[in-house]
Homo-oligomer: A and B are copies of this chain.
Amino acid sequence: MDILTMDREALLAQKARLEAEYAAFKAKGLKLDMSRGKPGSDQLDLSRDMLTVFTGNEDFFDGKTDTRNYGGLEGLMSCRQLFGALLGIPAGNILAGGNSSLTMMYDTLLRLYTFGAAGVLEPWGRQSGLKWLCPAPGYDRHFAITEQLGFEMVTVPMLETGPDMDVVEELIKDPAVKGIWCVPKHSNPQGISCSDETVRRFAALSPAAKDFRIIWDNAYCVHDIGEPVHILNLFEECQKAGTLDQLFIFASTSKFTYPGAGVAMMACSDLNFKWTTDIMGVQAISPDKVNQLRHVRFFGDAAGVYAHMAKHAAILAPKFQSVLDCLSRHLDGTGAGSWITPRGGYFISFDSYPGCAKRINTLCKEAGVVMTGAGATFPKGYDPLDSNLRIAPSLPPLSELNAAMEVFCVCALLAATEKRLSEIG
């Protein structure tokens, strides 16, 4: 029954029933974690053979390059080519880096902040009133970067087609707006992928700020579960539109192989590539080319990556299905919240009855179920509706996930019932 149509008596009865269920869960002393998008150990085990691709000293050569030694700031060509094949971007416009695309994004923003955009502009750090566009719900670590650099973060609503481009096109008329975050495919946390029109509108953006930059974090580029989702290639669209200098694209193998020991990449225009390597040449000599070659040898080619990602999908699909089934079973028609069925990525986004997210979080925590903090999906942790929660199903084994979701659903319905009772007085 829907809490919006229930009277006080019915709500009180439901509350009593849920409190009893909740108390029973609490008594179990559970310790379950759905907080971060970490792959499970069964997923990590899939890449076991990557660690033994090198058997002799001669294996370390990639053509004439001895990957063990210094040199090659832009990364190993064979690795850049592999990323290029996956993303439809020329290898010459790709930098293969260390183990973290987050670090590559951070460093790119810090370069813009400290040294100014390519074309001798005033560094962001010497300008005042900086603003940044944050489609939300979004990724907390993105928001943390622009917060640390002192940006005023302006929230942009997410639609089924990606960020609300009407809003974006309006906001970029302000020259203080310097950029926008976007996870274009299987967005974190909603699993939304940008429509072709959204991608084209990104490519067509004509911001007032000449040092405006799109940070296109294609974190889940080949992380489909079930039928693959194809998004339009923003690199190509920007080339056509003549706006390529506004774009930085990122991806990594963190969720192909090992989150802590993968290879990250960045793609950009020739101008930005030179600007990046000129500045970065003082920061670094070369990335870990041995690890890059290890990945290239393990995958072979793009087809090898797709085959490997299918194994991840086979592990993740039942976990996602389990979460969705549990939500349906317990919450369909209750008015306690809504959710989106993702076609890939690492999260299921849940929107509770307004004003309940923090309460659900607390209830879960007290019953031993750790969730991502309420509000984390919004800039500065402030969710104006106190409604969005991010469910990360990948890390716990299926049995633990089921147990955690049972708790979550009781907490979500209990919080909504409490809230509704307080509203009707």
**Which residues of A are in contact with B by a Cβ distance under 8 Å?**
36, 38-39, 41, 44-45, 47-48, 51-52, 54-57, 60, 66-72, 98-100, 102-103, 106-107, 110, 113-115, 125, 141, 144-145, 147-148, 254, 258-261, 279, 282-291
A70 contact from B54, B107, B259, Cβ within 8 A: B259
> A102-B284, A261-B68, A283-B106 given as contacts; is B48 within 8 A of A51 (CB)?
no
Number of copies: 2
Residues of B within 8 A of A51 (CB): 54, 290
Pairwise interchain contact B100-A284, C-beta atoms closer than 8 A: yes
Complex alpha-carbon distance, A66 and B47, angstroms: 14
What are 21 pairs between A and B in contact, CB < 8 Å?
A: A36-B70, A38-B69, A38-B70, A38-B71, A39-B69, A41-B69, A48-B56, A51-B54, A51-B290, A52-B52, A68-B259, A69-B259, A98-B99, A100-B285, A102-B284, A147-B282, A148-B279, A260-B285, A261-B290, A288-B288, A291-B291
CB distance from A231 to the nearest CB of B (A): 25
Complex alpha-carbon distance, A258 and B288, angstroms: 9
- Lowest 5 CB-CB distances: which A-B pairs, in order? A261-B290, A68-B258, A106-B283, A70-B259, A51-B54
Pairwise interchain contact B44-A66, C-beta atoms closer than 8 A: yes
CB distance from A257 to the nearest CB of B (A): 8
Residues of B within 8 A of A125 (CB): 114, 125
Complex alpha-carbon distance, A145 and B283, angstroms: 7
Residues of B within 8 A of A100 (CB): 284-285
> A98-B98, A291-B291 given as contacts; is B260 within 8 A of A67 (CB)?
yes
Residues of B within 8 A of A259 (CB): 68-70, 285
Pairwise interchain contact A45-B57, C-beta atoms closer than 8 A: yes
Pairwise interchain contact B287-A99, C-beta atoms closer than 8 A: yes
Pairwise interchain contact A284-B67, C-beta atoms closer than 8 A: no
Residues of B within 8 A of A39 (CB): 69
Pairwise interchain contact B52-A55, C-beta atoms closer than 8 A: yes
Pairwise interchain contact B290-A258, C-beta atoms closer than 8 A: yes
Residues of B within 8 A of A66 (CB): 41, 44
Closest B residue to A149 using CB positions: B114
Pairwise interchain contact B107-A69, C-beta atoms closer than 8 A: no
Residues of B within 8 A of A36 (CB): 70
Residues of B within 8 A of A69 (CB): 38-39, 41, 44, 258-260
Pairwise interchain contact A102-B288, C-beta atoms closer than 8 A: no
CB distance from A169 to the nearest CB of B (A): 29
CB distance from A36 to the nearest CB of B (A): 7
**Beyond A144-B282, A145-B283, A261-B291, 19 extra complex contacts between A and B, CB < 8 Å:** A36-B70, A38-B70, A41-B69, A44-B69, A45-B57, A48-B56, A68-B258, A69-B260, A70-B254, A70-B259, A102-B284, A103-B283, A125-B125, A258-B290, A259-B285, A260-B286, A260-B289, A288-B288, A288-B291
